[in-house]
C-alpha cells in the first residue's frame, strides 16, 4: 500500500481536467450560464473551495504563478491550505502579489488592484444559483433562467426597499451578465461588483458541491440589478485604512479591546502591504511605529 | 497594538501535529492494527465502504484509523481516494439470487423454499453490557451448516409467479447504467441513478426518512418481503476475450420491501416494490433505502407528493453526508468580509431608526 498515494499533476486525472475544461469553454461561450459538470470528490471538504480548486487544477500549468486569497487575505487558514495543496500536487510558483499572478483563486473578494489581460480570477462559489433562496427547486430555477423570468428577483429587491427603505443585500448581490443571465457573483461584498464589469481578466466560477461552473469572459458587461429610483450603490467607509491610509477600498473591522475600540484595515492584505512598502501609512501604523521607537 | 492574523501556515502544521498525537493516544498502549479493525469493527468498515462507494476492507479500515473512528471523516477519506481511480469498465449486474446466503429472513412467509436463516444478527440479543468483553475471553466456535450452495429463490419471485407484485423494472438491452460520481446530477432522475445516490446516502438520514414514512409522512404500507446478506460474485465482461470473468466476491445486504398495491381500470391490483442494496452487512441501511426508494416512486404511481421522503430533489440533494458535513462545517471558515457588509447595513438601518424616533420625540415635545 506504500505506492498508494501517487497523484497526477494538479491532483485530477487528465480525463477529468478535459471534462472540466469543456465545461469552462461552454461557460465562457454563454456568459453567466451555469454549466453542470461532474464535480469530483476533492481531498478537502465540500464548501471549502472544491469548485474553485477543480477549476484551478484544470487550467493550471507548470508555468503558472498562483495566488490564493480568502476574505482578501493571502494568510487566512483556508487560503494557506489551498495554496499548499497546489504547491504539493503541482509544484507551481506561488505569490501573494496580485500583479505577478497568472491565476488568482479567491473566496469572497476581488483584489483591489485592477486585473489585467491574461489573468484568470477563479471564484469559489457555495450556492451558484442566484434564485435559490427565492425558489429552492433546481428544476424550477433552470426553467426560470431559460425563460429569462427574473421578475421574482426584482420583487425581492423591491420588498427590501419596502421593508428596509433600501436594498438589504450586501454581498452575493445579483448581477446581469451580457444582458442575459442573472448570475450570483459568489458571496463577495457588493463593493466588488463594479470590478467585474468589463474586466480585462477572465473570471471563472466553480461550485463543487452544487456541480456548476460559470464564467464571465473578458470585456463583458456585468450590471448589478437595481431600480431607477434606487440605483445600485457600493459600501463606503468613513475612514481610510488604519495601516496604509488607502481610501475607496474594502475594509475589515478589527476589535481592539473590550471597551469598544475598533480599527478598520484593508481586507486585501497584498494591497495594504504594497502601499505600506511604498511609504503610505495610516493612523494606527503611525502610532504603533512611534510606540516602538 | 494590532496583530494581524499571521502565521496561518505554522498554526495549521501545529494543529495537524497535535491531531496526530491525539489520534495515537497513550503511547504505552499498542497501536490498533488494520487487521484488528477489519476483524473486530467489521460493521464500521462496512458502513465506510458503503457510503464511500468503494469495496476495499483494508483501505476502509485505514480510513477509520486515520479518522480516529469518525465515520463521516473516514467515508470522506476513502471517497477522495476513490475519485482518483481510473475506470476500466462496468461489471455485469450482480445476481443476488445466486448469493451465498449468510442470512436471509422474510417477514411475509413463515416458511419458504431456502428457509429462514438468521445468521450473525443483533436481533433477539438482550442489550446487556457484557463484562466478559472487558477481558479477552475465548469465544466458542460457531455452528455452521454444510454450505449447500443451492439457489435460494427470492420472495419477490414467489409473488411474481402469481403476478401479485409488479414486475422487476426492465431496462432496455442497450442501457448503460449511469454513474452519479462521473456525471452531473439532473432532476428528475431515473431510478437507477436514484438508487445509486441512496446506496451511498447517509445511513442516519435515510433511516429518519424511512421512519417518517412509517409515521404517516408518505405512508407506503411496507412489508419486508426479504432481507438477504451474503457473498455475491462480481463478473466483468472483457470485450477482447468475448466472455466474462469473475473478479471475486463481495458481501452485500439486499432488502426487497413489498408495499401496498396499485391498480387501474386496465391493470389488476399488484403489490409494489421498494429496493435496497448496500455493501457489507447493513440491514438498517438496506431497509431504510428500500422504504425511501418506494416513497420516491410516488409520482411514478400517480400519487401526490405530500411528504419529504417522497420529494426527489429534497432527498437526493441532501442525503450525501460528505457534501452535507462539508457545507455545514464551512460556516466556521472566516466570513468577516460578508459579516462586515452586514454589520455596516445593520448600523445604518439602526441609525436611521434612531433618527426617526428622535424626530418623533422632538415633535411630541414641541407639541406639549
Q: How does pLDDT run across A220-239, given as a tens digit for each residue?
A: 999 999 999 999 999 999 99
What is the least distance, in Å, from the CA of B35 to any CA of chain A?
14
Low-confidence ranges of chain B (pLDDT < 70): 1-7, 147-149, 264
Taking a C-beta distance cutoff of 8 angstroms, is the pair A61, A257 a contact?
Answer: no
Q: Is the peptide bond before B68 cis (omega within 30 degrees of 0)?
A: no
Give the mean pLDDT of A126-136.
Answer: 94
Establish, for the pair of chains A and B, how many residue pairs have beta carbons separated by less than 8 Å. 157
Residue B262: predicted pLDDT: 74
What integer pLDDT is reported at residue B7 of this predicted model? 60
CB A272 within 8 A of CB A255: no
| Strand residue runs (E) in chain B | 100-105, 223-238, 243-262, 270-279
The pLDDT of residue B178 is 87
Cα Rg of chain B, angstroms: 27
Q: What is the pLDDT of residue B84?
A: 86
Residue A260 bears catalytic tag: no
Q: Are strands B243-262 and B270-279 parallel, antiparallel or unpaired?
A: antiparallel
Residue of chain B whose Cα is closest to the Cα of A186:
B338
Test mutation, B16, B19, B85, B184, chain A, max A CBs within 10 A: B184
The distance of B56 to chain A (nearest Cα, Å) reads 12
CA distance A22 to chain B (A): 13
Across the interface, do A138 and B58 touch by the CB < 8 Å criterion? no
pLDDT over 90 at A50, yes or no: yes
CB atoms within 10 A of CB B144: 7
Task: Round to whole Å and give the CA distance between A140 and A134.
Answer: 11
B330 touches chain A (CB under 8 A): yes
Of A58, A66, A56, A176, nearest in space to A122 by CA: A56
Interface of B with A in 69-88 (CB under 8 A): 76, 79-84, 86
CB contact under 8 A, B2 and A47: no
The proportion of chain A whose per-residue pLDDT surpasses 90, expressed as a percent, equals 82
Say which residue the cell 470585456 belongs to: A219
- Gap from B37 CA to chain A (nearest CA, Å): 17
Q: pLDDT category, A14, cuts 50, 70, 90?
A: very high
Are B83 and A40 in contact (CB < 8 Å)? yes
In the residue annotation, A244 being an active-site residue is answered as: yes
- CB distance B278 to B260 below 8 Å: no
Q: Is B114 left (phi over 0), alpha (psi -120 to 50) or beta?
A: left
B79 contacts A45? CB cut-off 8 A: no
d(CA B219, CA B223): 12
Asked if A11 and B84 come within 8 Å (Cβ–Cβ), the reply is: yes
Decide if B342 and A171 are in contact by the 8 Å CB cutoff. yes
Say yes or no for a CB contact (<8 Å) between B336 and A137: no
Average pLDDT of span A117-131: 97
Which is the catalytic residue, given A208, A241, A245, A282? A241
pLDDT at A223 (0 to 100):
98
Interface probe, candidates A54, A96, A170, chain B, greatest B C-beta count within 10 A: A170
CA distance A170 to chain B (A): 6
Closest by CA to A248, choosing from A286, A185, A195, is A195
The whole-angstrom separation of Cα B292 and Cα B208 is: 10
- Return d(Cα A214, Cα A173) in angstroms, integer: 16
Cβ within 8 Å of residue A84, ≥6 positions away: B9, B12
**Rounded Cα–Cα distance for residues B12 and B16 (Å):** 6
Which residues in B lie closer than 8 A to residue A45 (C-beta atoms)?
A: 76, 322, 325-326, 329-330
Q: Output the CA–CA distances (angstroms, integers) from residue B119 to A202, B124, B145, B255, B274, in the order listed.
A: 61, 12, 11, 15, 23
Neighbour tally for A259: CB within 10 Å: 5
Number of Cβ within 10 Å of residue B254's Cβ equals: 24
Which residue of chain B comes nearest to A11, CA vs CA? Answer: B84
Instruction: Quote the pLDDT of residue A292.
Output: 55
* Whole-number Å distance between alpha carbons of A7 and A52: 19
A32 is a catalytic site residue:
yes
Encode pLDDT of A180-222 as tens digits: 999 999 999 999 999 999 999 999 999 999 999 999 999 999 9
Which single residue is written with the C-alpha cell 404511481? B301
Q: Which residues pair with B248 in a beta bridge?
A: B234
Strand positions, DSSP E, chain A: 35-36, 65-70, 93-94, 103-107, 120-124, 175-177, 181-183, 202-207, 212-216, 222-224, 251-255, 262-266
Pairing of strands A222-224, A181-183: unpaired
Q: Which three cell numbers stand for residue A256?
A: 481592539
Whether A266 is a known active-site residue: answer: yes
Q: In A132-211, where do the E strands start and end?
A: 175-177, 181-183, 202-207
Which of the following is catalytic: A206, A208, A245, A266?
A266
Amino acid at each position: 500500500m506504500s505506492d498508494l498515494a501517487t497523484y497526477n499533476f494538479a491532483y485530477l486525472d487528465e480525463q477529468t481536467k478535459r471534462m472540466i475544461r469543456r465545461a469552462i469553454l461552454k461557460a465562457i461561450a454563454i456568459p453567466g450560464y451555469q454549466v453542470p459538470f461532474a464535480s469530483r470528490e476533492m481531498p478537502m471538504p465540500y464548501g471549502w473551495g472544491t469548485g474553485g480548486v477543480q477549476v484551478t487544477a484544470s487550467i493550471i500549468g507548470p508555468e503558472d504563478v498562483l495566488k490564493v486569497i480568502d476574505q482578501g487575505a493571502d494568510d487566512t487558514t483556508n487560503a494557506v491550505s489551498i495554496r499548499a495543496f497546489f504547491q504539493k500536487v503541482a509544484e507551481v510558483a506561488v505569490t501573494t502579489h496580485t500583479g505577478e499572478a497568472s491565476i488568482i483563486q479567491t473566496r469572497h473578494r476581488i483584489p483591489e488592484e485592477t486585473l489585467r489581460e491574461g489573468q484568470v480570477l477563479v471564484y469559489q462559489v457555495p450556492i451558484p444559483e442566484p434564485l435559490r433562496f427565492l425558489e429552492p427547486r433546481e428544476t424550477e430555477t433552470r426553467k426560470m433562467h431559460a425563460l429569462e423570468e427574473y421578475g421574482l428577483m426584482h420583487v425581492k429587491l423591491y420588498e427590501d426597499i419596502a421593508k428596509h427603505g433600501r436594498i438589504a443585500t450586501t454581498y452575493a448581490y445579483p448581477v446581469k451578465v451580457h444582458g442575459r443571465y442573472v448570475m450570483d457573483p459568489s458571496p463577495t461584498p457588493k463593493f466588488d461588483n463594479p470590478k467585474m464589469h468589463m474586466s480585462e481578466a477572465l473570471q471563472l466560477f466553480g461550485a463543487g458541491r452544487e456541480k456548476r461552473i460559470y464564467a464571465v469572459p473578458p470585456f463583458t458587461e456585468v450590471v448589478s440589478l437595481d431600480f431607477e429610483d434606487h440605483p445600485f450603490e457600493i459600501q463606503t467607509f468613513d475612514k481610510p485604512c488604519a495601516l496604509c491610509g488607502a481610501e475607496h477600498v474594502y475594509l475589515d473591522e478589527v476589535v481592539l479591546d473590550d471597551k469598544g475600540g475598533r480599527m478598520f484595515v484593508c481586507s486585501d492584505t497584498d494591497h495594504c502591504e504594497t502601499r505600506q512598502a511604498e511609504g503610505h501609512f495610516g493612523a494606527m501604523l503611525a502610532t504603533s511605529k512611534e510606540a516602538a521607537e | 497594538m494590532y496583530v494581524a492574523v499571521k502565521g496561518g501556515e505554522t498554526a495549521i502544521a501545529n494543529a495537524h501535529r497535535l491531531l496526530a498525537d491525539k489520534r495515537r493516544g497513550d503511547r504505552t498502549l499498542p497501536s490498533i492494527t488494520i487487521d484488528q479493525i477489519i476483524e473486530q469493527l467489521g460493521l464500521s468498515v462496512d458502513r465506510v465502504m458503503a457510503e464511500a462507494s468503494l469495496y476495499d476492507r483494508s483501505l476502509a479500515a485505514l480510513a477509520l484509523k486515520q479518522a480516529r473512528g469518525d465515520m463521516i471523516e473516514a467515508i470522506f477519506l476513502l471517497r477522495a481516494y476513490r475519485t482518483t481511480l481510473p475506470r476500466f469498465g462496468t461489471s455485469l449486474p450482480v445476481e443476488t439470487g445466486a448469493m451465498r446466503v449468510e442470512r436471509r429472513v422474510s417477514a411475509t412467509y413463515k416458511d419458504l423454499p431456502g428457509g429462514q436463516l438468521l445468521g450473525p444478527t443483533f436481533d433477539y440479543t438482550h442489550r446487556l453490557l457484557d463484562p466478559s468483553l472487558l477481558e479477552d475471553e475465548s469465544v466458542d466456535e460457531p455452528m455452521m451448516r454444510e454450505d449447500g450452495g443451492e439457489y435460494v429463490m427470492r420472495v419477490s419471485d414467489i409473488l411474481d409467479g402469481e403476478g401479485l407484485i409488479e414486475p422487476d423494472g426492465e431496462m432496455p438491452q442497450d442501457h448503460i447504467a449511469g454513474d452519479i460520481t462521473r456525471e452531473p446530477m439532473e432532476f428528475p432522475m431515473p431510478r437507477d441513478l436514484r438508487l445509486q445516490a441512496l446506496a451511498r446516502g447517509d445511513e442516519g438520514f435515510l433511516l429518519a426518512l424511512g421512519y417518517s414514512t412509517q409515521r404517516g409522512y408518505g405512508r407506503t404500507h411496507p412489508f419486508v418481503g426479504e432481507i438477504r446478506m451474503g457473498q455475491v460474485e462480481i463478473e466483468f465482461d472483457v470485450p477482447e476475450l468475448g466472455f466474462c470473468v469473475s473478479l471475486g466476491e463481495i458481501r452485500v445486504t439486499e432488502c426487497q420491501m413489498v408495499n401496498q398495491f396499485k391498480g387501474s381500470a386496465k391493470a389488476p391490483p399488484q403489490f409494489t416494490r421498494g429496493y435496497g442494496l448496500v455493501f457489507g452487512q447493513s440491514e438498517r441501511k438496506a431497509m431504510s433505502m428500500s422504504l425511501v426508494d418506494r416513497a420516491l416512486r410516488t409520482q411514478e404511481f400517480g400519487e401526490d407528493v405530500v411528504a419529504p421522503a417522497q420529494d426527489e430533489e429534497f432527498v437526493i440533494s441532501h442525503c450525501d453526508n460528505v457534501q452535507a458535513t462539508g457545507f455545514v462545517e464551512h460556516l466556521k471558515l472566516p466570513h468577516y468580509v460578508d459579516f462586515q457588509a452586514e454589520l455596516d447595513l445593520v448600523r445604518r438601518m439602526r441609525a436611521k431608526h434612531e433618527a426617526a424616533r428622535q424626530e418623533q420625540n422632538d415633535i411630541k415635545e414641541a407639541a406639549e
